[in-house]
Amino acid sequence: MKNSKIILLVLLMIGFLNAQSQEGNIVVYKDIRLDILLEKYKEICEYEATIDGFRVQIFFDAGNQSQSNANQARTEFMRLYPEVDVYVVFDSPYYKVRAGDFRTRIEAYNFYLSIQSNYPNAFIVMDKISYPRIN
């Protein structure tokens, strides 16, 4: 069984090398199931609107005025950084304001450094983030 796998691999490599050495057009045959898998992936991405990532939390508060305070913090942040998405999250009993959609902690850290002068108490948190925008 193992020998047959090795022989098959060698034959495939020889066929590949022969195809590489010939001049002319190369025809690629694609399995129809790849299109089905791609469509299934698109459906999953539409259903699952978030992925694991990082955000920078700039504010949190609990109490009677916490929701309005969080909305004020969001508005102020949007005024300072209009290009960055910002979210108000309620995680009982706290209202939290989180900024950005970063795939890696390094991206979040670079952003954190850029806002640290305006938000000295900010910190990086793991969160479900929106998919990156495709331009």
CB 84, CB 100: distance < 8 Å:
yes
Buried b (16+ CB within 10 A) or exposed e, 55-66: bbbbbbbeeeeb
Please tell me the pTM assigned to this model. Answer: 0.64
Q: What is the CATH number of the domain that holds 120?
A: 3.30.70.1070
Q: Which of 130, 133, 131, 132 is nearest to 86 (CA)?
A: 130
What is the domain count for the chain?
1
- pLDDT tens for the 135 residues of the chain, in order: 455 566 656 556 666 655 554 567 888 787 888 888 888 877 776 766 788 999 999 999 999 999 999 999 999 999 999 999 999 999 999 999 999 999 999 999 999 999 999 999 999 999 999 877 665
Tell me, yes or no, whether 60 lies in a domain.
Answer: yes
| 16 falls within a domain | no
Inside any domain, residue 66: yes
